[in-house]
Amino acid sequence: MLIRPARLTDAAALLSIYAPYVANTAVTFEYTVPTEAEFARRIQETMRKYPYLALETQDGLMGYAYAGAFKGRAAYDWAVETTIYLNPAAQGKGYGRALYSALEEELKRRHFLNAYACISWIEKEDERLTHASPLFHEKMGYSLCGTFRKCGYKFGRWYDMIWMEKMLGEHTGNPQPIQ
């Protein structure tokens, strides 16, 4: 297993991981699978300020994780929203933990202090959404910090959104600048 910065040339492979989540699940509230060019643009835009990591095995790219802006105001500069997607064949092998841990280490190195995960939620699991993501984040040290009720509509039903948070560093009166 190799965890490395994503490359624009990874766009097609990473999109092939993401596309089934768009088409078949409520994990993402995106309705339409983006084009490869759009996906590459998103990777490039994210990498301007935030880490974007890919997990590679002998079987190819098996997952990716990245951080992005939590909010657009300067006071939020030390907070990020985190995202992770794995190829279903890679689940249950510890790849998610390794990938997210690497992302968190890179965020700490760059002086980010708060990590937030925005996660689709439904009280009773259905064929489109399980509780796997909240359970994964809980195991990674995240805790629930907010719930938005019936805010996402996909596949003919309403889904909630939960926010989970993890503090990555100490909050001082004079935080170090983001690198």
Q: Give me the CATH code for the 2-167 domain, please.
A: 3.40.630.30
Q: Domain residues of the chain, as ranges?
A: 2-167
Residue for token pair 């974007």 = 52
Axis crossing angle, helix 11-24 with helix 36-47, rounded to the nearest 10: 110
CA nearest to 178, candidates 100, 80, 103: 80
To 10 degrees, the CA torsion angle through 172, 177, 178, 179? -130
Beta bridge mates, 85: 64
The two three-digit tokens of residue 53, written as one number = 């990591």
Find tokens 């490359």 and name the residue. 7
Euclidean distance between CA atoms 122 and 127, whole angstroms: 11
pLDDT tens for the 179 residues of the chain, in order: 999 999 999 999 999 999 999 999 999 999 999 999 999 999 999 999 999 999 999 999 999 999 999 998 999 999 999 999 999 999 889 999 999 999 999 999 999 999 999 999 999 999 999 999 999 999 999 999 999 999 999 999 999 999 999 999 999 999 999 99
